[in-house]
Amino acid sequence: MATTGKNKNKNKNVHVFESEEALSVSLAKYAADLSENFAKQKGSFTVVLTGGSLIKSLRQLVEAPYIDSIDWSKWHVFWADERVVPKNHPDSNYLLAYDAFLSKVPIPSGNVYAINDALSAEAAADDYETCIKHLVHNGIISVSEATGFPKFDLMLLGMGPDGHVASLFPGHPLVQEKKKWITFIKESPKPPPERITFTFPVINSSANIALVVAGAGKAHPVHVTLGNGEDSHVLPVQMVLPEGELTWLLDKDAASKL
C-alpha cells in the first residue's frame, strides 16, 4: 500500500495500491473483517454490489483463506444498480456477479436479492423497494436513525470514468432524488439505457462504503473528488458522503493525478 490517509473529512480513508492485484487482496480483507464484525453484532451482513470492474476485484474473496473463514450464511446481497435485462443476459449485473462470485461461495440463494427481470424499469424499481422494505421490517437491513432510510452494512461501489456511481450520472436529475429509495432511468448514457438504481439518500445512509477504483481512465474524477481537479459538473462520486465510513481503494493509475 503506497499511501494511507484520512482525507478531507474525518470519515474518509484513502488507500492507494501499487496494482489492482494488491487492491483486490486488501478489498478481500476489508470485506472479511466487516463480515465478521456485523455477523457478531447483528447476526447478518448486508452487502450491496454494483456491476462493472468491481466484480473482478472481488476475486480474492473466493480464494483461501476467505472462502473458508467467512460465515457466508450471514451474507445478504443486493445491487445498488441493475440493468433492466433478463438475468441471463450478458449485460446483467446479477449474471456478472453470479458467474464471478456468487456461484463460488455458499451464500444461501434466498439471501441473494436480484431485481425482478420480468418487469418494466419503473415497476422493477418499485418492486425492489418493496423487497427492501420487507427486509427492513424483518430487521435484516438496519435503518439509519438519522435519516430513516435503509442502512446497509457495506456498499461496494465502482465509479465510471465520468464520475458516475450506481446509475446516477453527472447532470442527471436523479442525482437530486431525496424521497425514493430506488428509482429508474430509461436513458442511461452508459448502455444499456434502462436501469434501476439506489438513490443518494440510501447510498449515504450506509454504515460503510468502499469506492473501488482502478485504471488511468478514472484518474480525472478521482482528482476532482480527492485532489484539486475541476469539472464542469458536480460529479455524483463527490456526493458519496455516508453517515458511516467511506473507504477509497485506488490503484496507482487511478490515483496518478493526486
Ligand X SMILES: O=C(O)[C@H](O)[C@@H](O)[C@H](O)[C@H](O)COP(=O)(O)O
Residue (of 242, 251, 182) closest to 206 by Cα position: 242
Alpha carbon 224 to chain centroid, angstroms: 20
Give me the least distance between CB of 57 and ligand X, in Å please. Answer: 9
- Location of C-alpha cell 478531507: 8
Among 93, 144, 205, 225, which residue sits at the site for ligand X (rule: CB under 6 A)? 93
Q: 31-70 mask for ligand X (x: CB under 6 A)?
A: -------------------xxxxx----------------
Among 35, 47, 125, 160, binds ligand X (CB under 6 A): 160
- Give the residue with the Cβ less far from ligand X, 52 or 201: 52
State which of residues 158, 221, 236, 242 lies at the interface with ligand X (CB under 6 A). 158
CA 67 to chain centre: 21
Among 58, 125, 159, 182, binds ligand X (CB under 6 A): 159
CB 124 within 8 A of CB 132: no
**Using the rule CB under 6 A, which residue among 42, 190, 233, 257 binds ligand X?**
190
Residue 85 Cβ vs ligand X, minimum distance, rounded to whole Å: 10
From its phi and psi, is residue 146 left (phi > 0), alpha (psi between -120 and 50) or beta?
A: alpha
Looking at 20, 81, 129, 253, which residue binds ligand X (CB under 6 A)? 81
- Angstrom CA distances, 160 to 51, 163, 224, stand at 11, 5, 13
Given the rule CB under 6 A, which of 3-11, 26-34, 140-148, 159-167 is the region that contacts ligand X?
159-167
3-state helix vs strand vs coil in the chain, percent to 5: 35, 20, 40
The residue among 39 and 196 lying less far from ligand X, judged by its C-beta, is 196
Cβ neighbours of residue 204 under 8 Å, at least 6 residues apart? 147, 239, 240, 241, 242, 243
User: Taking CB under 6 A as the criterion, which residues in 98-117 touch ligand X?
Assistant: none
Q: Which residues bind ligand X (CB under 6 A)?
A: 50-54, 81, 83, 93, 158-160, 164, 166-167, 190
